[in-house]
Amino acid sequence: MQEKNRGLALFTLLVFVFLLGPLVIISFTSFEPGTVLKFPPEGFSWRWYENIFEVKMFMTTFGTSMFVSLVGNLLALLLGVPAAYALSRFQFKGKGLLNAVFISPVLIPGIVMGFAMLKYVIITYNLPIYAGLLIGHTVIMLPFIIRVVASSLSNFDFAIEEAALSLGAGKVETFFKVVLPNIRSGIIAAILIAFLESFNNVDISVFMTGPGVSTLPIQMLTYVENNFDPTIAALSVLLMIITAILMFIIERMMGLSYFTKR
Amino acid sequence: MKNKGMYLLLLPGVLFLTLFLVIPIVMTIASTFYQEGSFTVQGYFTFLTDPYNLKILWTTLRVSLVTTIACILLGFPAAYYISKLGARKKGILLALAIFPLLTSSVVRSFSWMIILGKKGLLNSSLLSIGLIEKPLEILYTPTAMMIGLIHLFLPLIIITLVGVMENIDPDLLKAAESLGASRFTAFRQVILPLSMPGLIIGSILVFVGSLTAYTTPALLGGKQGVISTFLYQNAITLNDWHMASVIATIMIVITFVVIGLMNKIATKLNPKG
Amino acid sequence: MALLTLENVSVAYDNQYILKDFNLNIEKGQLISLLGPSGCGKTTTLRLIAGFLEAKDGRFLFDGKDYTRVPVNKRNFGFVFQSYALFPHMSVFDNVAFGLRLRKVSETEVKQRVEQILDVVSLGGFEKRFPKELSGGQRQRVAIARALVIQPDLLLFDEPLSNLDANLRVNMRVEIRRIQQELGITTVYVSHDQEECFSISDRVAIMNKGVIEQLDDPATIFKYPKTEFIARFIGFNNFITFGERTEQDGEIELRVGGHRFAATHNPGTANAQAKKCAMRPDDLIVTTEAQADLETNRLPGTVKISTFLGRSYQYVVETDLGDFTVNQEMETPYKSGQTVHLLFPKDKMVLVD
């Protein structure tokens, strides 16, 4: 018995080395003082970290990514929270169909969505590419918001809404005073998860780029195709740190069970 | 049960998705059947008879299949081990598994570029040990894509499977053992069948994900195309919108067929509990 | 004039009628219970009064005004939920103050009234606690305080005690009745527990399948249930269905299968043609001596089962009119198979529909 367990433990260890090793390697290479990516690095230097801030395109696209992911998030909240509420609270015909529609952005290949949106939204309505980016990211964030908020509401005792009404509160007032405060952590988790999905997204953003408009991941892609220096490694490390922080906050808000439930 | 307000709550979201997602997709699919004003399936005919295109389809399928199988082989045992750990260790390992999932695919694929390149980590180590004489050309091949995709989707399989296995009543294993089953038999006859629905769902997610992934093939695949990069090429580089729409439609069809299959299998396996 | 009137009210869900042409009048200051099994429509009626449901037809009149279309939050009725429905993110104080603050009451007055009402429900000093720190009984009292503090025109209870354990239930219902009488507040109380309703109500409406089968004070219902359904619900388990009924000398004469029974009139019998009688196990008498001067209300039978209940013995006696259950205190019990005579006192025979 012990043998089997030790073998399995070793196997699992190797799997995790495989999973995390490359990320560790990339972290080390980011400190390489020379211009060629190599591992192990031949020294230690912050040079490439400084370089990030000097490449103008990184700064601009970082700003674009942040703007799109935050504003899109807000839009997704405005569209998604009421929808999640309605889906949790009421029973009605066609609920299954609506659920399918709301989850469709997750099922349809991102590349296909980006293409379809480019062709039939940007070009058809003659919208600026920035708008396309915003719309596209809102579309991919919407299912995450709805799913996480609906999940928070699944354990909600809606009787307290009726209690508030019986005491004289209006419907909207009840939502803000009684429902929202109790799903606060769920909403924060939803915002963070959606943000990460949007910020890291490539499949949709790749079609929604134009002169002067691009997102950070796309810019990184372009950079890598032309330069193979440790700047990307440094940038990757910074992004991983941000991811880790956000993940920590998500865990505090909702626990990581969100990811294991399917 | 006042329903009037309810529709108002759902309307904005539904409208938004219909306008900006459903209609564009439907139009994309529809446009493939119209060329020069008349209904035709010529586009598909052209696509499916070109050997170059078929090679791309085949490469995509091949890569996705290998990725899925590898993910199962690597992920299942790891998930089983994790699911049997105590809460604290399990939490830490799960967090470590989830972390790569939340990292950008660009970062993850890029890390493999460092490892698999001609002057990359793998080659320099193998060369210095003396296992090979000249650097292996892994980068920019389907093999590199597979490695990258396995790395991309393995966390997904592990997490899905751990979730499924956690729901298996631990008393079942004990019952089997008390009836005389060895650890291995109990595993084979209890854990395996009960994890099957979750395994299937996880595999399909990996398979569909690999089929339609863009970043990893773009960075690691080089000129060896898969459908997603091919779609991009046709749309942006070659400006052949019609062909791009055809490709897009084929991708949608494959995705939905595979997902439909998953639903069928999942419901068939559900009564087994 | 009644304070509250439901007039020909119908409530349907998905084309299934739960209440149809339903009528109910409630006087001011009374505690009236709606009692019945699940699905009888009592909760639907309560929620209709509260305003959580809309009636398909009919009117709801309150204090002379038409409240049918008045929204929930404008009715000023206090509602106490089965699950208590306390706001988990607010302290006891804030929970109770919620309704007052919506009414723009000054903070000083809020403090005074909240503290006062918490004393009334014996929760003085609990202001800063949160619902999750409280026991079931304490939460229920907070829920009651919250509903009372707004000085509602009507108090509504939806099975408030069903989630509490037995001892607590008895204590709490006494408390509720005490508070209700002290404040003189009109109250509608829903429960499926007969003992609970009978012990605290001025009047009880027994409901079955969307219809009120009897509306009377508890003592009347207890002695004279109007229908078989009600009789069974409150503990009558002996029934005889007669074939003929005639009135003679101020008494009712009933016959079936060669037997003749006499019964005195029940006050307020619903149906003047009722031919079914109900009796409690405690009201029947079982004896071995044939009482020669009693030609009526007597059945010979055989003891089928004999059970010891503590204070008395319970017998199931087989007769040619069926099995009857009778409880009787005695030193030496009858044995299975023994021949006995069942006596049915004519003032204990209750005519039911």
What per-residue confidence (pLDDT) applies to B41? 79
Which stretch, A87-96, A125-134, C85-94, C283-292, has highest mean pLDDT?
Answer: C85-94
The ipTM value here is 0.85
Whether the Cβ atoms of residue B227 and residue B211 lie closer than 8 Å to each other: yes
Residue B30 lies in a domain: no
Q: How confident is the model at residue A223 (pLDDT cuts 50, 70, 90)?
A: confident
Report pLDDT digits (tens) over C314-332. 999 999 888 999 999 888 8
Hey, which chains touch C, using 3+ CB pairs under 8 Å?
A, B
A217's tokens? 């991941």
Residue B166 lies in a domain: yes
Q: Which residue of B has its CA nearest to A10?
A: B78
Report pLDDT digits (tens) over C31-59. 999 999 988 999 999 999 999 988 888 99
Single-letter residue type at B208: V
Hey, which chains touch A, using 3+ CB pairs under 8 Å?
B, C
Q: Going by DSSP bridges, is the β-strand pair C203-208/C31-35 parallel, antiparallel, or unpaired? A: parallel
Q: How confident is the model at residue C291 (pLDDT cuts 50, 70, 90)?
A: low
Q: How confident is the model at residue A257 (pLDDT cuts 50, 70, 90)?
A: low
Residue B113 lies in a domain: no
Please name the residue that has the structure tokens 């007969």: C194
Selected from 3.40.50.20, 1.20.58.760, 3.40.50.300, 3.40.640.10, the CATH number assigned to the domain covering C4-229 reads: 3.40.50.300
Element (H, E) at C73: none
Res A248 pLDDT > 60:
yes
Q: How confident is the model at residue C341 (pLDDT cuts 50, 70, 90)?
A: confident
Q: Which residues of B touch A224 (CB under 8 A)?
A: 106, 110, 113, 219
Q: What is the CATH number of the domain that holds B240?
A: 1.10.3720.10
The answer to whether the Cβ–Cβ distance between B114 and A22 falls below 8 Å is yes
Residue B22 lies in a domain: no
Of A90, A102, A260, Cβ closest to residue B162: A260
Of A26, A108, A207, Cβ closest to residue B255: A108
What per-residue confidence (pLDDT) applies to B270? 60
Res A1 pLDDT > 50:
no
d(CA B131, CA A1): 36
Report pLDDT digits (tens) over C201-239. 999 999 999 999 889 999 989 888 888 889 888 888 899
Of A22, A246, A262, Cβ closest to residue B163: A262
Q: Which residues of C touch B2 (CB under 8 A)?
A: 54
d(CA A148, CA B43): 41
What per-residue confidence (pLDDT) applies to B168? 83
Contact of B4 with chain C, judged by CB distance below 8 Å, is answered with: no
Q: Determine the average pLDDT of the residues in B104-121.
A: 86
Q: Which CB contacts under 8 angstroms, 24+ apart, belong to B137-143?
A: B139/B113, B139/B220, B139/B222, B140/B220, B140/B221, B140/B222, B140/B223, B140/B224, B141/B221, B141/B222, B141/B224, B142/B59, B142/B62, B142/B63, B142/B221, B142/B224
Q: What is the count of residue pairs from A and B with beta carbons less than 8 Å apart?
A: 256
**Which residues on chain C place their C-beta less than 8 Å from a C-beta of chain B?**
13, 53-54
Q: Which residue has the higher pLDDT, B2 or B68?
A: B68
Res B119 pLDDT > 80:
no
The answer to whether the Cβ–Cβ distance between A162 and C72 falls below 8 Å is yes
Q: Is the peptide bond before A40 cis (omega within 30 degrees of 0)?
A: yes
Q: How confident is the model at residue A30 (pLDDT cuts 50, 70, 90)?
A: confident
Report pLDDT digits (tens) over B207-226. 999 999 999 998 888 766 88
**Which residues on chain A place their C-beta less than 8 Å from a C-beta of chain C?**
157, 159-160, 162-170, 173, 178, 181-182
Residues 6+ apart with CB under 8 A from B216: B105, B108, B109, B145, B148, B149, B152
Res C265 pLDDT > 60:
yes
Res A255 pLDDT > 90:
no
Domain ranges of chain C: 4-229, 230-352
What per-residue confidence (pLDDT) applies to B64? 94
Of B13, B101, B104, Cβ closest to residue A79: B13
Q: How far is CA A22 from CA A224, B77, B100, B109, B149, in A?
A: 17, 21, 10, 9, 13
C235's tokens? 């503990």
Min CA distance, B4 vs chain C (Å)? Answer: 13
What per-residue confidence (pLDDT) applies to A254? 73
B201's tokens? 């769902």
Q: Which residue of A has its CA nearest to B163?
A: A260
Q: Which residues of A touch B74 (CB under 8 A)?
A: 15, 18
Which range marks the domain in which residue B72 is found? 44-86+140-272
Ranges A21-30, B127-136, C55-64: which has the least confidence: B127-136
Report pLDDT digits (tens) over B12-57. 999 999 999 999 999 999 888 877 767 777 778 888 888 888 888 8
Residue B34 lies in a domain: no
Res A127 pLDDT > 60:
yes
Of A9, A104, A243, Cβ closest to residue B103: A243
Q: How confident is the model at residue B1 (pLDDT cuts 50, 70, 90)?
A: very low
Q: Determine the average pLDDT of the residues in C55-71.
A: 91
What per-residue confidence (pLDDT) applies to C263? 84
Residue B243 lies in a domain: yes
Mean of the per-residue pLDDT values for chain A?
Answer: 87
Q: Which residues of A touch B77 (CB under 8 A)?
A: 8, 11-12
What per-residue confidence (pLDDT) applies to C72? 92
Q: Which residue has the higher pLDDT, A38 or B203?
A: B203
Element (H, E) at C44: helix C42-50
Q: Determine the average pLDDT of the residues in A212-239.
A: 87
Res B2 pLDDT > 70:
no
User: What domains can be seen in chain A, in order of their start residue?
Assistant: 56-229+246-260 (1.10.3720.10)
Min CA distance, A16 vs chain B (Å)? Answer: 8
Of A233, A236, A260, Cβ closest to residue B159: A260
What per-residue confidence (pLDDT) applies to B273? 42
The answer to whether the Cβ–Cβ distance between B114 and A37 falls below 8 Å is yes
Q: How far is CA A206 from CA A120, A213, A234, A260, C306, in A?
A: 16, 11, 22, 29, 87
The count of domains in chain B is 1
Report pLDDT digits (tens) over B219-265. 888 766 888 988 888 888 888 888 899 899 999 999 989 888 877 87
The answer to whether the Cβ–Cβ distance between B94 and A256 falls below 8 Å is yes
Q: Which residues of A touch C188 (CB under 8 A)?
A: none
The answer to whether the Cβ–Cβ distance between B27 and A116 falls below 8 Å is yes
d(CA A31, CA A44): 5
Min CA distance, C185 vs chain A (Å)? Answer: 17
What CATH superfamily is the domain C230-352?
Answer: Nucleic acid-binding proteins (2.40.50.140)
Mean of the per-residue pLDDT values for chain C?
Answer: 89
Q: Which residues of A touch C51 (CB under 8 A)?
A: 165-166
Of A167, A170, A182, Cβ closest to residue C98: A167
Q: Which residues of B touch C53 (CB under 8 A)?
A: 1
What per-residue confidence (pLDDT) applies to B139? 81
d(CA C20, CA C8): 7
Within chain B, how many helices (H) and strands (E) appear?
14, 2
Q: How confident is the model at residue C142 (pLDDT cuts 50, 70, 90)?
A: very high
Residue B168 lies in a domain: yes
d(CA C188, CA C204): 10
Q: How confident is the model at residue C257 (pLDDT cuts 50, 70, 90)?
A: confident
Please name the residue that has the structure tokens 């018995």: A1
Percent of chain B with pLDDT over 70: 96
